[in-house]
Structure 1
Amino acid sequence: MSVFATLAPQLGPMFLHFMALSLLSIGGAISTAPEMHRYLVGQQHWISDTQFTNSIALAQAAPGPNLLFVALLGWNVAGLPGAAAALAGIVLPSTTLVLAATRWASNYKDTRGVRSFTLGMAPLTLGLVLATGWLLAEPYLRVPQHRWAMVGMIALTVLLTLKTRLGLVWMVLGGGVLGAIGWV
C-alpha cells in the first residue's frame, strides 16, 4: 500500500473541515484555532495537544504569514500532503469570498450597511482572538511550575499592548527568549 493511500482517509475530511473554517475565520485563521484544536486533537486524535501548541508557537515565531501554523498542523497530521490539504482548505474559500466582497464593498463603502457591518465585526474578532489566546495559555496555566510565570507574561503582554506602541513581533520574540531560558 502506498503512503498516499494510508494518508488519504485524513486528507479529504481535513481539507473539507478547513474549508468550512476558512469561511468562519474572521480576524484571520488564528481565530479558528480553538475549533481546529477541537477537531484535530479532541475529535480525530490525529495530533497531540503538545503538537498543536508547538505548531502555533513555531509558526508565530517564524517570519512570514500568520497562517503558516495551518500548514504545520497539516504536516503533523499527514506530512507534505497534509500541509497542502490544510493550507488549500483554509485559503481557497476565504480568498475567493474576499475578492468578491472587496469588489462589492469598494462600490458601496459609504453606505450605512457596510459601515455598520465593519463596526459590528470588531467585537467578534476580539472575542475570537481572546479565545485563541486562552487555548494556547491554558495548558501552561495547569502546570504549577509554569502558572505564575505564565500569568506574569500574560499581564505584561496586555500592559505592553495597551500602554505602548511596541510591535507584537517583539513581544513574541521576548516570550520565545523567556521560554528558551526556561522561565516559562
Structure 2
Amino acid sequence: MSPDLGWGLILEIFLRFLLLSLLATGGALSLAPAMHKYLVVQKGLITDTQFIGSIALAQSAPGPNVLFVTVLGWQAAGFWGALAMTVGCLIPSAVLAVYAGRKIVSNPNSFWMRGLREGLAPIAIGLTFATAVVLLKPWITEWRVWLLTIASISVAYFTRLAPIYLIAVGAAIGAFGFLNP
C-alpha cells in the first residue's frame, strides 16, 4: 500500500461501496456515476481518463460485469482498494439477491413482488442513463461521439442485430482513432 493511502481510507472505501451496492438496481455499472463522484471528484484518487479506461478494460474482458469495480479499486488504492471495493459491492447485493430470490420464487405474482419489479424498472433505467452521461462527459462536445452513440442506439433499437456486432464496430472505430479530437 502506498504511504499516502492508509487503512482509514481503505475502510472508508469499503463502507462507501457497501452502501453504494444497495443502489445497484440496474447492475453494478449503474453505480458508475456515484463511484465517479467519490473516486474522481471528492477523493481525487484517480483521473477521469483512468476511470473511463478502467471501465472499458473491465467490460472488454471476459467475466462478471462487476469486474470493473475491482479494476477501479486497483487503480485507486492498489490490492487493498480492489479488495475493499469488490467485497463492499458484493456483500449487500448478494444477500439481497438471495433474499429477494426466495421471496420471488415463493410469491412471484404477489402485489408486493409486482410492485417491486415495476417500481425498480424506472430506477434502473435512470441509473443506466446517468452512467452513460458520466462515461460520455469527456467527449460531450465531440460530434463524432454523439453520431456514434445515436447510430448505435438506433441500430440496437430498430434491428435484431446482436450487440456483439455493435461492440466490435465501436472497438474498431476506437482502435483506428476515429474518435480522437
Q: When the two structures are superposed, what TM-score results if normalisation uses the length of structure 1?
A: 0.91
CA distance in 2, matches of 1:8, 1:156: 46
CA distance in 2, matches of 1:169, 1:118: 28
Answer whether contact 1:61 1:173 (CA < 8 A) is retained: no
Name the counterpart of 1:64.
Answer: 63
The structure-2 alpha-carbon separation of the partners of 1:178 and 1:109, relative to structure 1 and needing over 3 Å to count, comes to same
CA distance in 2, matches of 1:94, 1:130: 21
CA distance in 2, matches of 1:100, 1:159: 37
The structure-2 alpha-carbon separation of the partners of 1:34 and 1:138, relative to structure 1 and needing over 3 Å to count, comes to same
Name the counterpart of 2:156.
Answer: 161
The structure-2 alpha-carbon separation of the partners of 1:149 and 1:120, relative to structure 1 and needing over 3 Å to count, comes to same
Where is the helix percentage greater, Structure 1 or Structure 2? Answer: 1
Query: Amino acid of the residue matched to residue 41 of structure 1?
Result: V
Name the counterpart of 1:126.
Answer: 125
1:172 aligns with 2:167: yes
Cα deviation, residue 150, structure 1: 0.1
Deviations 1:110-151 (A, max 9, x none): 212211221222111111111101110121123xxxx12101
Cα deviation, residue 170, structure 1: 2.9
Name the counterpart of 1:9.
Answer: 8
Cα deviation, residue 3, structure 1: 5.1
Between the aligned residues of both structures, percent identity stands at 39
The structure-2 alpha-carbon separation of the partners of 1:89 and 1:105, relative to structure 1 and needing over 3 Å to count, comes to same
Query: Amino acid of the residue matched to residue 163 of structure 1?
Result: F
CA distance in 2, matches of 1:27, 1:101: 15
Answer whether contact 2:5 2:77 (CA < 8 A) is retained: no
Deviations 1:82-133 (A, max 9, x none): 1111110100111011101111221111212211221222111111111101
Which range moves more in the overlay, 5-14 or 160-169? 5-14
Deviations 1:21-52 (A, max 9, x none): 11111110111100000000000111111110
CA distance in 1, matches of 2:4, 2:154: 50
Query: Amino acid of the residue matched to residue 149 of structure 1?
Result: R
Answer whether contact 1:60 1:172 (CA < 8 A) is retained: no
Cα RMSD (Å) of the superposition?
1.7
Name the counterpart of 2:49.
Answer: 50
The structure-2 alpha-carbon separation of the partners of 1:3 and 1:135, relative to structure 1 and needing over 3 Å to count, comes to closer
Moved over 3 A (4+): 2-7
CA distance in 2, matches of 1:128, 1:104: 25
Query: Please, which of 166, 171, 177 is the counterpart of residue 182 of structure 1?
Result: 177
CA distance in 2, matches of 1:55, 1:17: 19
